[in-house]
């Protein structure tokens, strides 16, 4: 029986081709990874910044108190102790909140107990600075600070000891529930802050004062503090209603109305232009293409005057009327319907279906990819619409959509450098669009690819 021998040259060629394939795959995946870091990296850093008390800190840290699991557990426990609310915290009558702080005392220095105060502190900047809220400082009582223990330690090469202090904050008697329990702990010059039951929001006066925006924050009140502030601080001073919730509601009303209108009229108009025999159909389609080239800024004065005469300025329905029909959506649906074979419609007609039955029972179910693409494009475009919303809704703050609300935040909080709240509001505005794209992405890809090609 003859045996087959493999030449050394053939073995080397196969190894070379295998290495070449792996090298190509490595370049492809490496490029994809680099692009992912390039595009997703800034969003990741911005999200971390939205959790921080100081998003502008330099150098930027990727580990900070709000993402530490031990702080999550303590914030939950303190929120439960302060107001029976482990999620958002607070301070209510009958609360007893034990707290502990530790300081490094250099060798040869006698420890001195820190001073503890519950300050009167506004919720934040912008609108939060003018809102009235119950101040915990009017009702909180702080027990004497007691030393809880000492242990030898070396900090930055310096010998010394860690001294722990304990105190309790109580709410005696009756009264209203305070949304927050601010806390300041000040130590002598010779002592350095080391740790606490809950990591402070900031160290002030060169580290002498450890400051908490709330010593009973709850999980969300500590970890997602800026996100909670978006809803709590942006309130109508007259009614107390959350403006951010109102803006979200307005954006959903406008976006969903525009989606529904475009699904109905764009599909009907697209089908008529693609299939029906209409006199001047090509001229109508040419006019649609021409309208696509006209910027909205050219026609906004005439549209503004029409809405003014109809008394729709300052109302979200005026914005819906303006942006309800988009010629680009009609073009998308026309292109898609032209790709459907006419034999399908002819078969439906032979079976006795009239044009309306054919459209709604046969053609429209086949247009699911295009309708999915239309839904995403319309919702995303209307959700982020700023110029037309500014023209129609600028006079009524309660009628703002989210883009106008974010602009308001920039004016109200950007001047004082409160970038954490601005980043949090921006990320909240992204969530509906991201969810919609994830749900409809298959239809979006298929719809765009099929509607862009004919034949």
Which pLDDT score is estimated for 412? 79
Q: Is residue 371 part of a domain?
A: yes
Domain boundaries, position 288: 243-451
181, 203, 233 - which closes a domain: 233
148 and 249, same domain (yes or no): no
Q: What is the mean pLDDT of residues 334-353?
A: 87
89 and 149, same domain (yes or no): yes
Which pLDDT score is estimated for 129? 65
pLDDT digits (tens, 9 = 90+) for 194-234: 999 999 999 988 778 999 999 999 999 999 999 998 998 88
Higher pLDDT, 292 or 258: 258
pLDDT digits (tens, 9 = 90+) for 1-53: 455 555 565 566 677 777 777 887 788 777 877 776 777 778 888 899 999 98
- For the chain, the three-class secondary structure string (H helix, E strand, C coil) is CCCCCCCHHHHHHHHHHHHHHHHHHHHHHHHHHHHHHHHHHHHHHHHHHHHCCCCCCCCCCCCCHHHCHHHHHHHHHHHHHHHCCCCCCCECCCCEEEEEEEEEEECCCCCCCCEEECCCCCCCCHHHHCCCCCCHHHCCEECCCEEEEEEEEEECCEEEEEEEEEEEEECCCCCCCECCCCEEEECCCCCEEEEECCCCCEEECCCCEEEECCCCCHHHHHHCHHHHHHHHHCECCCCCCEHHHHHHHHHHHHHHHHHHHHHHHHHHHHHHHHHCCCCCHHHHHHHHHHHHCCCHHHHHHHHHHHHHHCCCCCCHHHHHHHHCCCHHHHHHHHHHHHCCCHHHHHHHHHCCCCHHHHHHHHHHHHCHHHHHHHHHHHHHHHHCCCHHHHHHHCCCHHHCCHHHHHHHHHHHHHHHCCHHHHHHHHHHHHHHHHHHHHHHHHHHHHHHHHHCCCC
329 and 210, same domain (yes or no): no
Average confidence score pLDDT of the chain: 86
Q: What is the mean pLDDT of residues 83-88?
A: 96
128 and 262, same domain (yes or no): no
Give the CATH number, domain containing residue 291.
1.10.3720.10
Question: How many structural domains comprise the chain?
Answer: 2
198, 213, 233 - which closes a domain: 233
Q: What is the pTM of this model?
A: 0.83
Q: What is the mean pLDDT of residues 376-393?
A: 90
251 and 387, same domain (yes or no): yes
193 and 317, same domain (yes or no): no
438 and 310, same domain (yes or no): yes
173, 198, 233 - which closes a domain: 233
């Amino acid at each position: 029986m003859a045996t087959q021998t493999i030449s050394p040259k053939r073995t080397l060629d196969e190894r070379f081709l295998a290495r070449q394939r792996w090298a190509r795959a490595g370049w492809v995946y490496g490029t994809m990874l680099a692009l992912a870091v390039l595009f997703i990296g800034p969003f990741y850093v911005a999200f971390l910044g939205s959790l921080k008390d100081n998003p502008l800190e330099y150098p930027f840290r990727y580990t900070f108190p709000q993402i530490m699991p031990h702080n999550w557990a303590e914030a939950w426990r303190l929120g439960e102790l302060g107001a029976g609310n482990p999620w958002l915290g607070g301070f209510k009558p009958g609360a007893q909140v034990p707290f502990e702080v530790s300081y490094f005392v250099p060798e040869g220095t006698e420890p001195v107990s820190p001073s503890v105060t519950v300050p009167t502190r506004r919720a934040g900047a912008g609108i939060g600075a003018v809102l009235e809220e119950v101040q915990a400082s009017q009702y909180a009582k702080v027990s004497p600070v007691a030393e809880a223990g000492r242990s030898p330690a070396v900090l930055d090469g310096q010998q010394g000891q860690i001294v722990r202090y304990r105190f309790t904050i109580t709410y005696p008697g009756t009264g209203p529930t305070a949304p927050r329990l601010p806390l300041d702990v000040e130590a002598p010059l010779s002592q350095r802050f080391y740790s606490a039951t809950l990591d402070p929001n900031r160290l002030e006066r060169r580290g002498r004062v450890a400051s908490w925006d709330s010593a009973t924050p709850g999980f969300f009140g500590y970890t997602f503090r800026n996100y909670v502030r978006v809803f709590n601080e942006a309130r109508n001073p007259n009614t107390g209603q959350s403006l951010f919730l109102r803006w979200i509601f307005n954006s959903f009303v406008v976006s969903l109305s525009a989606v529904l209108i475009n699904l109905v009229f764009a599909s009907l108009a697209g089908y008529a232009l693609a299939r029906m025999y209409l006199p001047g159909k090509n001229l109508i389609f040419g006019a649609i293409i021409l309208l696509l080239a006209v910027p909205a800024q050219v026609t906004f004065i005439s549209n503004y005057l029409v809405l003014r005469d109809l008394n729709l300025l300052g109302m979200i329905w005026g914005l819906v009327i303006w942006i309800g029909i988009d010629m680009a959506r009609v073009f998308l649906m026309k292109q898609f319907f032209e790709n459907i074979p006419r034999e399908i419609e002819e078969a439906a007609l032979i079976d006795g279906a009239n044009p309306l039955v054919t459209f709604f029972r046969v053609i429209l179910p086949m247009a699911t990819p295009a309708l999915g693409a239309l839904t995403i494009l319309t919702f995303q475009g209307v959700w982020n619409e700023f110029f037309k919303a500014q023209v129609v809704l600028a006079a009524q703050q309660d009628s703002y959509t989210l883009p106008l609300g974010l602009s308001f935040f920039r004016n109200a909080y950007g001047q004082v450098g409160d970038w954490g709240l601005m980043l949090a509001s921006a990320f909240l505005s992204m969530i509906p669009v991201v969810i919609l794209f994830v749900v409809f992405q298959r239809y979006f890809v298929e719809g765009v690819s099929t509607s862009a090609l004919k034949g």
